[in-house]
Amino acid sequence: MKKKDLEKKRKEEKSKAFLEGEFLGNSKGFGFVRVEDRENDFYISERDTMHAFHGDIVRIEPYSTSYGDRPEARVIGIVEHAVVNVVGTYEVAGDYGFVICDDRRISVDIYVPKERSMEAKDGAKVLCHITSYGSVNRNPEGEITQVLGMKGEPGVDILSVIYDCGIPMEFPEDVLAEAKKVNKKVGPSERKGRLDLRNTQMVTIDGEDSKDLDDAISIEKRGSGYTLGVHIADVSHYVREDSPLDVEARR
């Protein structure tokens, strides 16, 4: 084989030996790695995940065998961790505890030393910061940064989802300032050019647990028939395009 062809073959073998991609976790412990420009994801058995978290960028070594229609590989290194904080249920185990993640794509439990538990009770919903990602023979380790409440208590599930999705709990000052400027009464200038239906009896069609009551209907008998009115609040009158309120709402 010519030297040029030999070098080309070595480069091809090297490129096949190690690949990088996004780890996609599964609640059963195994996972897949999505590699750019590859048609099929690589199957990763539970023993070969290296405790990679869902979303991590990992380095893999493909096997010569395959899993069904998918090629198989083992994780040989974590390039970049995607998860810093997790939401889960805290379980006491003697003088320490574990956090079982709400996102079951993270199948490994997080070990929490007692002194870093914020005295969370067994069954509490907590926000846990990852301090160590562990190893093949050692669970990841973390510390409780906030106790959200006991599992099943009113409002705790909503808080869990908010923190799990990384949704901000507070609004920026400019957004709050703009919201405070909104008039609570409709002035004469705002009524100009509009049909005044304030004396028309309407029924909201939003559920009783809705946070924004902005849709309603009305019905009036006129002659031998009925007129159905469908009314939608003019939110754009209060939230101008590209204003702080609009930008924050999109975010």
**At 37, which CATH number?**
2.40.50.140
* % the chain with pLDDT above 90: 51
Compute the distance between CA of residue 166 and CA of residue 163 in angstroms, rounded to an integer.
5
**End-of-domain residue from the set 164, 197, 223:** 164
Q: Kindly report, residue by residue over 91-127, the tens digit of the pLDDT.
A: 999 889 999 999 888 888 999 999 999 999 999 999 9
In a domain, 137, yes or no: yes
**End-of-domain residue from the set 80, 102, 120:** 80
In a domain, 179, yes or no: yes
For the record, the structure tokens of 155 come out as: 């409002």
Compute the distance between CA of residue 106 and CA of residue 24 in angstroms, rounded to an integer.
9
**Mean pLDDT, residues 138-167:** 88
Q: Where are the beta strands (DSSP E) in 102-224?
A: 110-113, 124-132, 141-150, 203-204, 215-222
Token look-up 């007129």 returns 227
In a domain, 4, yes or no: no
**End-of-domain residue from the set 59, 80, 101:** 80
Question: Is the predicted pLDDT of residue 221 greater than 60, yes or no?
Answer: yes
Count other C-beta atoms under 10 Å from residue 236's C-beta.
9
Compute the distance between CA of residue 185 and CA of residue 190 in angstroms, rounded to an integer.
10
- The domain total for the chain is 3
Compute the distance between CA of residue 44 and CA of residue 61 in angstroms, rounded to an integer.
10
In a domain, 1, yes or no: no
153 shares a domain with 100: yes
Closest CA to 130 of 75, 53, 33: 53
Compute the distance between CA of residue 163 and CA of residue 150 in angstroms, rounded to an integer.
15
Q: Cα 158 vs. chain centroid, distance in angstroms?
A: 13
Evaluate if pTM is beyond 0.75: no
Cβ atoms 23, 75 nearer than 8 A: yes
**For residue 224, what are the domain limits?**
173-250
